Structure 1
Amino acid sequence: MAPTYDLLERRKDKFMLWFPADPQNAREPYLVLGTLDNGSPQTVYQISITPFVKPDQPDLWELDPKNISPPLEDGKVYHYWYEINDLSPEARGAIKVTDPLAYTVWYASTKGRDDHVQPSSVIKFRDGKLWPCDVDGSEPSTPPLPSQDSMPQNNHMVIYELPTSWSKYKHVEENNQDVEVDVGTFVDVLALFDPTVTGNNFKGVSVVDNGAIVAELGINALELLPVADARPIGQWGYATANYYAPDFDLGTSSELVTLVEKIHGQGTRFFTDVVMAFGHDPYVYIDFKQFHLDQTAPEEQKSPDIWQSHSSQERDGYGGRLWRYSWPVDANAQAVVSSTYDPQSGQVSAIHPSWAFHKGHLHRWMTSFGVDGLRLDSINNIANYDFIKSYKEYAWDIYNSRYPSADPSKFLVIGEELSDPLDLITSGTLNALWNDSFQRRIRACLIGNGSDGDDFEWTVRKFVNCTLDYNHPFTDGSQSINYLTSHDTEGGTGKERLFNFFTDSGVTDMERRAKFAFALFLTSVGIPMIFAGEEFLDQMDNSISEKQSDPVNYERKAEDWRTRIFNYVANMVQFRKTCPALGDDDTDFIHVDESRGGKIMAWKRGGQGQIPVVVVANFTDQDTEGPVYVVDNWPDQQVGGWREVTQNRDVPAEWVGREPLMHWEAKVYTYWRG
């Protein structure tokens, strides 16, 4: 049974507003209640405004729906706001704000949204209680727990990183350009996994109408970029506004539950991205000082919250408001909250308000949507390791409560901190980190160069086995999230999509080089993460600086050469998921051809007692000479049954360890049979 979160239990019976260290100048909040008028355009018709009352808990306001006049109708959907006195630095008097705990929100306009115009919160009144519901009144179910046996272990995961803004493209004849015509939804993501679903906006995309492209790829972990409700339209969700609600533009809670049920049924884990350095949330107006930092205020320069962790740089709100995590202190290091209502435990104690708020939405997402892992954005910009560790531990508490004996290898909390400070792992603050060094190193090697001051050989050794990185020595592959490309395609040369990187580097044999890259990537130590579209070498259509408005173009997968890349990657994904040796960290470099500048190398994956995997890679523009190329120190050479994985072919005994290589070719061998 999952740990309870007291405030979320209370809101089942009453409208609730938590107001820590309730300021003396704050007016009592009011509930503004209405119903949706289905005219054109749709609007909310206000039917009542009712003051909250204080229960016996400090800093808590409540309103029993039975005390609202006119009486609420059983089974009816209501829209509501909280009217409060604006306490943001730009205070504007009495304003209406969204319930910070709203499970569903509704925007009156899909264009030109204003940060100061808050969406309505949505709830259903039924049987004397308040029920989470979609705008149409549907009450979302909770996805059933998948069996532990059906879920992959961390060291056999292949993650698919999918932006929460994706689109189809339409050819415009008059100017010969491709343009974005619409943005996807949870139903469109479902269509990537279910061949019977064509999606909402993906209808007409041939590879979606006629198949299930991501299911066919075979990944076993889906990471959606932030799916909590965000202000912008058609972007990737890194401006979270309503942390407890699915994004209004992406669809309903019920549709998200259907998606999670589907991928769980396919043995795929569900990860979600979370943004907690800054927000556009209602507490900006309700209780600014307790939750947020005003970097423009001179007195805040004394606050420990002003600086990034391990850095002399100030934190960056990227247009939002920084969350305050070093608590309970004000800008002059004086105690502000001696004790308040704790929304998690329901007791009165000294707590960190922001910590408690974020643990609440963690509880919501893990219990309502079956989240199997988390990726925490910009750890250095959150800038409080104690909070991150507390958040991670609460996530594990919820996960462990799911099963009588939860498998610790089937849950993971990942952080993005691109300098890879391993103390985040050794201290128990996080379970894993994005390994940005992997991308730098493998991309350098894909065009024949070394990286980070290492010669070519050691650049290869370090990306193949992250435990060999002396500066950032991961101690286990499940701690390292490796990627050829991530959603951060605007990060400069070497960060762009692989197609654009190859183009800018003068690579002309795209198909060959892409297959080479994926063979190395999917056989290296660590958890591989594929950025959506890279499996068929999608390309940037807008400028690199516009990454959030350059979604995946799944139409491209239908091109013959891209289909061949896709099929190659799908084969290697299946191998990566299932081969025991690739879930082990042991790596033995068995061959470095000094006669070719050390740029033909071979290594063995797998530990003692495991059937080995041997990777042989030619990082040069020349084929090997003659019909035979001998690889030294080949393991188990006399054992029968060797096969070459990338081409799905058996290798005659006399050719084991002796096959030639073409330029920029990697061959993967094993006698393991899945």
Structure 2
Amino acid sequence: MDTTATPAPTHATGAGRVPAAPLDAEDRRRLLSGTHHDPHALLGAHPVPGGIAFRTLRPYARAVTLLTEEREVPLTGMGEGLFSGVLPLDSIPAYRLRVTYDGPGAVHEYEDPYRFLPALGELDLHLIGEGRHEELWKALGAHPMTHQGVTGTRFTVWAPNARGVRVCGDFSCWDGSAYPMRSLGSTGVWELFVPGLDEGTLYKFDIARADGTHTLRVDPMARRAEVPPNTASVVTRSSYTWGDDAWMARRTERPVTRAPFSVYEVHLASWRPGLTYRQLAEELTEYVTEAGFTHVEFMPVAEHPFSGSWGYQVTGFYAPTSRMGTPDDFRYLVDTLHQAGIGVILDWVPAHFPKDDWALAAFDGEHLYEPQDRQRAEHPDWGTLIFDYGRKEVRNFLVANASYWCEEFHVDGLRVDAVASMLYLDYSREEGQWAANESGGRENLDAVAFLQEMNATVYRRNPGVVTIAEESTAWNGVTRATHHTGPDGFGGLGFGLKWNMGWSHDSLEYISRDPVYREYHHNEMTFSMVYAYSENYVLPLSHDEVVHGKQSLVSKMPGDWWQRRANHRAYLGFMWAHPGKQLLFMGQEFAQGAEWSQEGGLDWGLLDPAYPARPDHHGVQLLVRDLNHHYRATPALWEQDTSPAGFSWIVTDAAQDNVLAFLRHAEDGSPLLAVCNFAPVVRQEYVLGVPEEPHAWHEVLNTDAARYGGGDIRNVDPLKPEPEGAHGRPARLRVTLPPLATVWLRPE
């Protein structure tokens, strides 16, 4: 907006001193109260008998002058900020408004927002009305643009229950009186093009509810927000040039289920507190590259007001949090990781949203994004609201949001939070607190349809992307294709991967027990293979496992400090060898002893060379690095992750020994042998049945190695099989098993 002070006119014709006809009293009342559906019909320029009538609404103005190429015409004040005049013209000319306020230098020139046609096309409105606008972020929200030859910003918002909507911001001293928006018909979309506004403008929507009261709301489609605790939406445009073309092409070459996939889960704001997105791009990329992970997973980055929610209570679904920089800064972070060969997974939260009265809750005075039924709308666990998945516009808002992060920010996958809470009508509810679906069941059929549509849309539009469900129940077909119907009559949900939370629970229960009791819980380590191929799994050791009194991973382990670290290392060796992809939360890769706190960040001092316990933590860090590098170089560990042909047990019943042994197989048959000894004793020449074909095996990884902080009890290469059979196999190996350790062996 041009706010340059302009001298008052030195002359004016009298042609405009005839005011336009007075407004109808009801139109005037509705316009001034912000409840008129079509302010453009009243304001701006319109042909009338005798010429062209000009009318503007500029509250608090002392005078308004109409400026054309040929004349300057003072408009007549009509009271309450209305000014008008009639010029004896045959057609509407190009014009501007000079507005004078009280005070020194308070003279400004404006383009009149009410001389412009709608800046949103009919096709956009049709798709919005159908709930099928797959690029909704390009139609709704605030968009800097050139319209009818004039630069400015188009504001659009969906508010079907509003009696009127006005836009306000730092450009209007947060008073929306001068900027009422027009309704674009039955779609419920309101629109206004405001000339002169550009990137960086702060804004909100002033919405008149059905009862005439007003509420000031952020833009649900805002692509940038103020830094919390401030809450305004920010007009933004991207000028970023991507450099990850090679990565984007390469990620489509192999399905994620048949590729290495080792994930480092990160809470960006607390990984190294105080870093910006651009600083993280350098430091995090270097760290993850050295650690060997194939991907990072960011806990939610969408804007959220309360840092203590870790991003899981979102108010700005289309805006990366401004705490660490701009949207283009976030693009730089993703791009830098991609150019280093590291994929980016984003934690996405379509299950609920907070009740803040400046955000989505009762957005236009009615329950818009949440169900009308208050009981269905309330999330019983988190004090939040649940989305109305049965409303086509709400479903469109979320489906488009999933695509938005993939397309605008090049993310390689979405980990969808709290899927179980979406799927079940009775989730965390007692009898009488929920109603069955139309078939009498407990399934939320609207949520099922939404998830299927979201997955189908994301995969169709974004080759190489993966969606991952955090789903804690036995729902059938989470990773089954949406067009394949299961025995329950439902099509698959269409996810690419699912978190195996049963594996996490069972294996952590086992490993946290004193070894003397482990033999009685041996099945907790073997049961996961009963259902390992029912879905495409990720094995998650996530943030959820190291907060709220659950202790860090190493602190869960029994025994003295040495035994805790040994258990930790052995468990990680087991995890990386087990079928399924891996996910490890930050801090666990160097055995941080304290629970994670988003306030304090990680205990990086534990890795300081001057710290006396450095081998304890640096050794675990080295182990994770080696696990990742061996994993990526060993197709047996990932090529047949979702096929029974990729795994075979050798020893499952050695409960008294606390020993597990199994083979992983690549597509060409090449094996890797993993042996876990979860007892605190050395087992010499432990007999394991092996295939006859390999002539010798060698140890490729041993979690008891001295470099990892272990006792360095190793197997001397080569290990040659004996012809006598064992465990149903034609040959046998005699292997030394270090205490509380996992050993990997491969044939020469």
Residue from 435, 447, 454 that aligns with 2:500: 435
Confirm whether residue 564 of structure 1 aligns to residue 630 of structure 2.
no
Whole-Å Cα distance in 1 between the matches of residues 168 and 363 of structure 2? 15
Letter of the structure 2 residue corresponding to residue 369 of structure 1: F
Letter of the structure 2 residue corresponding to residue 161 of structure 1: E
Task: Give, in angstroms, the shift of residue 355 of structure 1.
Answer: 0.8
CA contact (8 A) 1:485 1:497 kept: no
Q: Gaps spanning 5+ residues in structure 2: where?
A: 1-131, 146-153, 424-443, 481-490, 609-613, 708-713, 722-732
Residue from 336, 361, 369 that aligns with 1:262: 336
Task: Give, in angstroms, the shift of residue 392 of structure 1.
Answer: 5.0
Match of 2:234 in 1: 122
User: Secondary structure of the residue that 1:159 maps to in structure 2?
Assistant: strand
Match of 2:214 in 1: 94
User: Secondary structure of the residue that 1:187 maps to in structure 2?
Assistant: helix
Q: Name the Cα RMSD after superposition.
A: 3.5
Match of 1:377 in 2: 417
CA contact (8 A) 1:485 1:496 kept: no
Residue from 189, 214, 230 that aligns with 1:60: 189
User: Secondary structure of the residue that 1:374 maps to in structure 2?
Assistant: strand
**Aligned pairs for 1:466-505 within 5 A:** 468-469=530-531, 474-475=533-534, 479-490=536-547, 495-502=550-557
Decide whether aligned partners of structure 1 residues 262 and 187 sit closer, same or farther in structure 2, where only a CA change above 3 A counts: same
Whole-Å Cα distance in 1 between the matches of residues 741 and 380 of structure 2? 43
CA contact (8 A) 1:290 1:353 kept: no
Q: Gaps spanning 5+ residues in structure 1: where?
A: 37-43, 67-71, 124-131, 169-181, 195-211, 307-313, 328-350
Confirm whether residue 587 of structure 1 aligns to residue 643 of structure 2.
no
Letter of the structure 2 residue corresponding to residue 487 of structure 1: D
**Aligned pairs for 1:265-664 within 5 A:** 265-280=339-354, 282-287=359-364, 288-293=366-371, 300-301=374-375, 305=376, 315-316=379-380, 318-325=382-389, 327=390, 351-383=391-423, 384=444, 386-391=446-451, 393-402=453-462, 406=463, 410-426=464-480, 427-429=491-493, 430-447=495-512, 456-463=521-528, 465=529, 468-469=530-531, 474-475=533-534, 479-490=536-547, 495-502=550-557, 508-540=562-594, 548-549=598-599, 551-558=601-608, 559-583=614-638, 584-585=640-641, 586-591=646-651, 594=654, 597-606=656-665, 609-625=668-684, 629-636=685-692, 638-640=694-696, 642-646=698-702, 652-655=717-720, 657-664=733-740
CA contact (8 A) 1:161 1:531 kept: yes
TM-score computed with the length of structure 1 as normaliser: 0.72
Whole-Å Cα distance in 1 between the matches of residues 322 and 135 of structure 2? 25
CA contact (8 A) 1:541 1:550 kept: no
Confirm whether residue 247 of structure 1 aligns to residue 349 of structure 2.
no
CA contact (8 A) 2:499 2:539 kept: yes
Whole-Å Cα distance in 1 between the matches of residues 631 and 478 of structure 2? 27
Task: Give, in angstroms, the shift of residue 105 of structure 1.
Answer: 0.9
Task: Give, in angstroms, the shift of residue 62 of structure 1.
Answer: 0.6
CA contact (8 A) 1:226 1:275 kept: yes
User: Secondary structure of the residue that 1:356 maps to in structure 2?
Assistant: helix
Letter of the structure 2 residue corresponding to residue 660 of structure 1: T
Task: Give, in angstroms, the shift of residue 550 of structure 1.
Answer: 5.5
**Aligned pairs for 1:36-75 within 5 A:** 49-66=178-195, 72=196
C-alpha deviations, 1:168-219, integer Å up to 9, x for none? 5xxxxxxxxxxxxx5544234324334xxxxxxxxxxxxxxxxx32221111
Confirm whether residue 81 of structure 1 aligns to residue 204 of structure 2.
yes
Whole-Å Cα distance in 2 between the matches of residues 84 and 45 of structure 1? 13
Whole-Å Cα distance in 1 between the matches of residues 602 and 525 of structure 2? 30
Letter of the structure 2 residue corresponding to residue 323 of structure 1: F
Task: Give, in angstroms, the shift of residue 593 of structure 1.
Answer: 7.2
Confirm whether residue 139 of structure 1 aligns to residue 239 of structure 2.
yes
Decide whether aligned partners of structure 1 residues 549 and 428 sit closer, same or farther in structure 2, where only a CA change above 3 A counts: farther
Residue from 247, 256, 261 that aligns with 1:154: 256
CA contact (8 A) 2:140 2:157 kept: no
Whole-Å Cα distance in 1 between the matches of residues 627 and 524 of structure 2? 23
Whole-Å Cα distance in 2 between the matches of residues 574 and 92 of structure 1? 64
Task: Give, in angstroms, the shift of residue 443 of structure 1.
Answer: 2.1
Task: Give, in angstroms, the shift of residue 568 of structure 1.
Answer: 0.9
Whole-Å Cα distance in 1 between the matches of residues 333 and 573 of structure 2? 30
CA contact (8 A) 1:82 1:98 kept: yes
Task: Give, in angstroms, the shift of residue 10 of structure 1.
Answer: 5.8
User: Secondary structure of the residue that 2:328 maps to in structure 1?
Assistant: helix
Decide whether aligned partners of structure 1 residues 154 and 552 sit closer, same or farther in structure 2, where only a CA change above 3 A counts: farther
Q: Which moved more, 1:603-612 or 1:268-277?
A: 603-612
User: Secondary structure of the residue that 1:222 maps to in structure 2?
Assistant: strand
- Kindly indicate whether structure 1 or structure 2 has the higher relative contact order, using CA contacts under 8 Å at least 6 residues apart: 1
CA contact (8 A) 2:468 2:499 kept: yes
Residue from 270, 278, 302 that aligns with 1:166: 270
Whole-Å Cα distance in 1 between the matches of residues 513 and 662 of structure 2? 18
User: Secondary structure of the residue that 1:483 maps to in structure 2?
Assistant: strand
Whole-Å Cα distance in 1 between the matches of residues 139 and 400 of structure 2? 11
Letter of the structure 1 residue corresponding to residue 668 of structure 2: G
Task: Give, in angstroms, the shift of residue 435 of structure 1.
Answer: 1.1
Number of residue pairs the alignment of both structures matches: 538
User: Secondary structure of the residue that 1:166 maps to in structure 2?
Assistant: helix
Whole-Å Cα distance in 1 between the matches of residues 475 and 176 of structure 2? 54
User: Secondary structure of the residue that 2:284 maps to in structure 1?
Assistant: coil
C-alpha deviations, 1:594-626, integer Å up to 9, x for none? 5x714223211115632100011212121124x
Residue from 159, 164, 176 that aligns with 1:19: 159
Task: Give, in angstroms, the shift of residue 447 of structure 1.
Answer: 4.5
Decide whether aligned partners of structure 1 residues 593 and 352 sit closer, same or farther in structure 2, where only a CA change above 3 A counts: closer
Whole-Å Cα distance in 2 between the matches of residues 611 and 556 of structure 1? 39
C-alpha deviations, 1:490-549, integer Å up to 9, x for none? 466xx432122126x66642332221111101010011101111100113257xxxx554
Match of 1:103 in 2: 223
Whole-Å Cα distance in 2 between the matches of residues 491 and 421 of structure 1? 27
CA contact (8 A) 1:642 1:652 kept: yes
C-alpha deviations, 1:238-277, integer Å up to 9, x for none? 1101111011213211111111111111222211111122
Decide whether aligned partners of structure 1 residues 502 and 242 sit closer, same or farther in structure 2, where only a CA change above 3 A counts: same
Match of 2:289 in 1: 215
Decide whether aligned partners of structure 1 residues 616 and 317 sit closer, same or farther in structure 2, where only a CA change above 3 A counts: closer
C-alpha deviations, 1:64-97, integer Å up to 9, x for none? 224xxxxx16x6632211111357xxx9932321
CA contact (8 A) 1:35 1:77 kept: no
Task: Give, in angstroms, the shift of residue 45 of structure 1.
Answer: 7.3
C-alpha deviations, 1:208-233, integer Å up to 9, x for none? xxxx3222111111110110000113
Decide whether aligned partners of structure 1 residues 461 and 592 sit closer, same or farther in structure 2, where only a CA change above 3 A counts: closer
Decide whether aligned partners of structure 1 residues 615 and 555 sit closer, same or farther in structure 2, where only a CA change above 3 A counts: same
CA contact (8 A) 1:624 1:662 kept: yes
CA contact (8 A) 1:516 1:664 kept: yes
User: Secondary structure of the residue that 1:243 maps to in structure 2?
Assistant: strand
User: Secondary structure of the residue that 2:544 maps to in structure 1?
Assistant: coil
CA contact (8 A) 2:370 2:387 kept: yes
Task: Give, in angstroms, the shift of residue 28 of structure 1.
Answer: 0.9
CA contact (8 A) 2:688 2:734 kept: no
Task: Give, in angstroms, the shift of residue 3 of structure 1.
Answer: 8.2
Decide whether aligned partners of structure 1 residues 589 and 268 sit closer, same or farther in structure 2, where only a CA change above 3 A counts: same
User: Secondary structure of the residue that 2:318 maps to in structure 1?
Assistant: strand
